[in-house]
A and B are shown apart, each in its own frame.
Chain A
């Protein structure tokens, strides 16, 4: 077990807090950066997908895990990022610029959505975002002049200075780089007053307000950032899909994004990465399992969402802290062996009281 001896206030502020971090995260970086050397093409593509998911997950985690605002409609921001990016590329914009614009535009829409959302909490907000996502989906279907409707819309290849970034290895590095940048940005927010204001709003709005935190401003910021990161993920996602159609951005997608943060572990950035690995790779596992399953099972319509749903149910009942919570328990078990007690993590019984008038 590690006891950190603190001799300096900066120790709590720095991103890397002790030598253990340097070693393990250094190894991890080495692993992911060398991956194209030893990983086959298919798996490389899958990991690229995981990175893209993780960027979207960062955005959603900021909103759900750190600000306590639930969004059931984040697929809309993914869609906005993807379509805006594809549209601008089609009009000859260089791809970094169009990606940046897609991110910014998505953030702007997020901020606009936050305005009605400010007056709502809990389920009201969740449903409002859901309604927003359905409306966006309908717009994608019916605004054929721009989106191509059900026929879809081709995504031009990301080419810069004659280099084609849709090459699997290059695209892998592009996604990895954007993920790392996003991670650092999110960590910066979380260790500064802006991020603390978000967690304050999550835990007690009344108290946060009386500490001088501007509720509306904080929530708008959280929404905009969240939408921005998800939009960026959407722009990358567009290149993975290569052909955009509305059915890639449905409620099921929104739920997958939420599943990622819940299964990963709410309120932790590790959770985002664990969740992205899980959600990104699960479809492959299901596909493989499907091939070996008897046809009666394999041909069930909607099997994949059902497996997602089942896993979500199991996590919510048995491990609400997600994979990261489980990981911490396992680590603690070995650190304290043989003194680990289950009771340390027993959940306290809680009782709800209504906030209704009648």
Chain B
């Protein structure tokens, strides 16, 4: 059984068919990349998986469970975390608080315990804090711990967003263009971290990415899309040389 399965997934906005009958499956433990020119429907697929959009047809299942119509906020609880193309961090909060919000799905306390700050809330806060510090160590964010997101440079924000997603302790991580806005050096670091995340933490990764070097270096399999349609799925080398992919990027 695959970790994530999409069958005949489709969505259209008015007359625009953003994704048309796309089927793919992602195995547990792999790094799966989605490539394609702008407007190919890559981010739309992410938005379908994280249930920001309702699919018009097709089916999505995650470790055997049908998630096609599950509620948006319940997706995180199933073990799916994501980042956003242009970062969607909590701008007025510190890095620490952003990461603590990432721990939200593991919360066991109720509101009335929170308002009284019962000992169980304190214990839980300490546990969250330890989990957050592990992620901070992994991604080298110590310097920024108490800084407000609004004051951070773009590259750091990208990393904070990945860190926040990791705090969910997900089974599946969706990264939307993790390298966009990073300089070459930071992109190199990112490739190493991806490996850590995938191998050391055992998290399955799906990423939308334009940097073909990063895709070739990090991913096990690649799916190419154009105009909302699936072109091919295969190893990075296969996809890069696939005639339809070349045509989609270079034209006729």
A contact residues vs B (CB 8 Å cutoff): 9-10, 12-13, 185, 188-189, 191-197, 199-200, 202-204, 206-215, 221, 267
Contact = CB atoms under 8 A, between A and B. Distances in A.
A188 B74 contact: no
Nearest to B117: A188
- Minimum-distance CB pairs A-B, first 10: A212-B76, A207-B88, A203-B90, A192-B114, A212-B105, A188-B117, A194-B114, A9-B129, A193-B107, A204-B88
Contact of B72 (A185, A197, A209): A209
A213 B91 contact: no
Contacts, number: 109
B115 A199 contact: no
Contact of B116 (A13, A188, A206): A188
A210 B82 contact: yes
B122 A13 contact: yes
B97 A199 contact: yes
23 contacts: A12-B96, A12-B129, A13-B122, A189-B114, A192-B109, A192-B114, A193-B103, A193-B107, A193-B114, A194-B115, A199-B97, A200-B90, A203-B90, A204-B88, A204-B91, A206-B84, A207-B90, A210-B75, A211-B101, A211-B164, A212-B75, A212-B76, A267-B92
Interface in B44-103: 50, 52, 72-77, 81-82, 84, 88-93, 96-97, 100-103
A69 to B, nearest CB: 15
Given A12-B96, A203-B91, A191 B125 contact: yes
A206 B88 contact: yes
Most chain A beta carbons < 10 A, residue from B52, B91, B97, B101: B101
Nearest to B110: A194
Interface in B98-155: 100-105, 107, 109, 111, 113-117, 121-122, 124-126, 129-130, 133
Contact of B89 (A10, A207, A213): A207
A189 B121 CA distance: 11
B105 A185 contact: no
Contacts of A212: 73-77, 104-105, 168
Contacts of A12: 96, 129
A352 B129 CA distance: 36
Contacts of A10: 122, 126
Given A192-B121, A210-B82, A199 B76 contact: no
Most chain B beta carbons < 10 A, residue from A199, A206, A210: A210
B125 A192 contact: yes
Interface in B182-241: none
Interface residues of B, number: 43
B81 to A, nearest CB: 8
Contact of A193 (B88, B109, B130): B109
Contacts of A192: 109, 113-115, 117, 121, 125
A195 B76 contact: no
B104 A213 contact: yes
A196 B101 contact: yes
Given A191-B117, A193-B114, A206-B52, 15 more contacts: A9-B133, A13-B129, A188-B116, A188-B117, A193-B109, A200-B90, A200-B104, A204-B88, A209-B72, A210-B81, A211-B76, A211-B102, A211-B168, A212-B76, A221-B111
Q: Give the dominant DSSP class at A's interface.
A: helix
A211 B89 contact: no
B100 A196 contact: yes
B104 A197 contact: yes
Contacts of B72: 209-210
Most chain B beta carbons < 10 A, residue from A200, A208, A221: A200
A108 to B, nearest CB: 15
A140 to B, nearest CB: 30
A201 B191 CA distance: 31
Contacts of B84: 206-207
Contacts of A203: 89-93
A214 B96 CA distance: 21
Contacts of B130: 9
Contacts of A211: 76, 81, 101-102, 104-105, 164, 168
A193 B111 CA distance: 8
A194 B124 CA distance: 13
Nearest to B149: A203
A185 B113 CA distance: 11
Nearest to A4: B146
A148 B102 CA distance: 52
A214 B75 CA distance: 11
Contacts of A221: 111
A261 to B, nearest CB: 15
A356 to B, nearest CB: 16
Contact of A213 (B101, B116, B117, B121): B101
B59 to A, nearest CB: 21
B166 to A, nearest CB: 12
Nearest to A212: B76
Contacts of A208: 90, 101
Contacts of B88: 204, 206-207
Contacts of A194: 111, 114-115
Nearest to B71: A214
Contacts of B101: 196-197, 199-200, 208, 211, 213
A32 B136 CA distance: 42
A1 to B, nearest CB: 15
